[in-house]
Amino acid sequence: MDFATILGILGGFGVLFGAILIEGSSPASFMNMLATLVVFGGAITAVLIRYSIGSFISAIVLGFKTAIFNKHVPATTLIEEIIKLAEISRKEGPLGLEKAEVHEPFLKKGIQMLADGYTVEAIRRALERERDLQHERLTEGHKIFKALGDAAPGMGMVGTIIGLVSLFSHMDDPSKIGPGMAIALLTTLYGAVVANVIALPLSDKLQNVADLGSTNETLVIDAVIMMRENRSPAQIYDELMSYLPLHKRPDREERQAEAA
């Protein structure tokens, strides 16, 4: 579970409610059905014009699921697990990998293909296709959430205009001036909150998950192919070090000390 996403969203709303309470107002005074309808309904319909209903629903479900439940595996952890598997393959052959415990799903699929005797071309083709399709799904979710974030402030401004028109058309009735002003201000607030606390952060989160996941999956593809080519664990380790920044790469003496 990605606690940063949960903490960020809850913290964002917590700051807003805290500011309302500190100011001395009631949170109920900031709730308005018309403003909610204009901002949420308007933003959703604006996005549906660009995408199909199926794409919209799947992107929203995938987006929240990925943003909340995604657990990024650091490349260093992944490399350590790969090297252990490479040592098993070196000693026992590909069939020895069938009993090995693999935690990362994409790596598990590659190891299973290796144990089943797939060729290098078949492994590369299948794993690259799965990597690319997953990246494409996450990227589409990123685009849809970004579209929501772009549309929400605009619909907030539309609601503001509606509120101002209502206000000026009822200047002869003081009892309706307050509600009209409330709608004008709340729709702007709702649009800004939806865009900056929910939609745009989730959009960036999905893009980050897509990019980091693609990098890790490319690392796995390279590792599995090298294992299929019977490279030594030391060779595989040296090759995979290129995926780490320089300051995270242990020098050869440290590696030899760990191996000993």
In order, the DSSP letters of 130-146 are HHHHHHHHHHHHHHHHH
Any domain includes 92: no
Do 202 and 166 lie in a common domain? yes
Predicted confidence band at 158 (pLDDT cuts at 50, 70, 90)? very high
For the chain, give the percent of residues with pLDDT over 70. Answer: 96
Do 14 and 124 lie in a common domain? no
Any domain includes 219: yes
- Average pLDDT of 228-241? 92
pLDDT digits (tens, 9 = 90+) for 176-207: 777 778 888 899 999 999 999 999 999 999 99
Do 18 and 132 lie in a common domain? no
Do 2 and 40 lie in a common domain? no
Do 182 and 206 lie in a common domain? yes
Q: In b/e form, how buried is each residue of 173-189, taking b as 16+ CB within 10 angstroms? A: eeeeeeebebbbbbbbb
Do 6 and 66 lie in a common domain? no
Residue 254 has pLDDT above 70, yes or no: no
Do 27 and 40 lie in a common domain? no
Any domain includes 105: no
Any domain includes 197: yes
- Within 10 angstroms of residue 255's Cβ, the number of other Cβ atoms is 16
* The two three-digit tokens of residue 9, written as one number: 């969203």
Any domain includes 50: yes
Do 183 and 221 lie in a common domain? yes
The CA–CA distances, whole Å, from 22 to 8, 26, 177, 193, 231 equal 21, 10, 26, 19, 64
Euclidean distance between CA atoms 239 and 164, whole angstroms: 64
Do 40 and 166 lie in a common domain? yes
Predicted confidence band at 124 (pLDDT cuts at 50, 70, 90)? very high
Euclidean distance between CA atoms 130 and 3, whole angstroms: 27
Any domain includes 108: no
pLDDT reported for residue 2: 76
Residue 73 contacts residue 104 (beta carbons within 8 Å): yes
pLDDT reported for residue 251: 63
Euclidean distance between CA atoms 36 and 256, whole angstroms: 62
Residue 59 contacts residue 144 (beta carbons within 8 Å): yes
C-alpha 181: how far from chain center: 37
pTM of this structure: 0.83
Domain that holds residue 3: 1-31
Query: CA end-to-end span of the chain, whole Å?
Result: 35
pLDDT digits (tens, 9 = 90+) for 4-25: 888 898 999 999 999 989 988 8
Any domain includes 2: yes
Any domain includes 97: no
pLDDT reported for residue 148: 95
Q: In b/e form, how buried is each residue of 18-55, taking b as 16+ CB within 10 angstroms? A: eeeeeeeeeeeebebebbeebbbebbbebbeeebeeeb
* The two three-digit tokens of residue 232, written as one number: 């030594």
Do 25 and 145 lie in a common domain? no
Do 16 and 134 lie in a common domain? no
Split into its structural domains, the chain has a count of 2
In order, the DSSP letters of 141-178 are HHHHHHHHHHHHHHHHHHHHHHHHHHHHHTTT-HHHHH
Least confident of 57-61, 105-109, 115-119, 255-259: 255-259
- Average pLDDT of 51-67? 88
- Rounded to the nearest integer, the mean pLDDT of the chain is 88
The CA–CA distances, whole Å, from 47 to 15, 18, 42, 43, 82 equal 28, 31, 9, 6, 42
Do 19 and 124 lie in a common domain? no
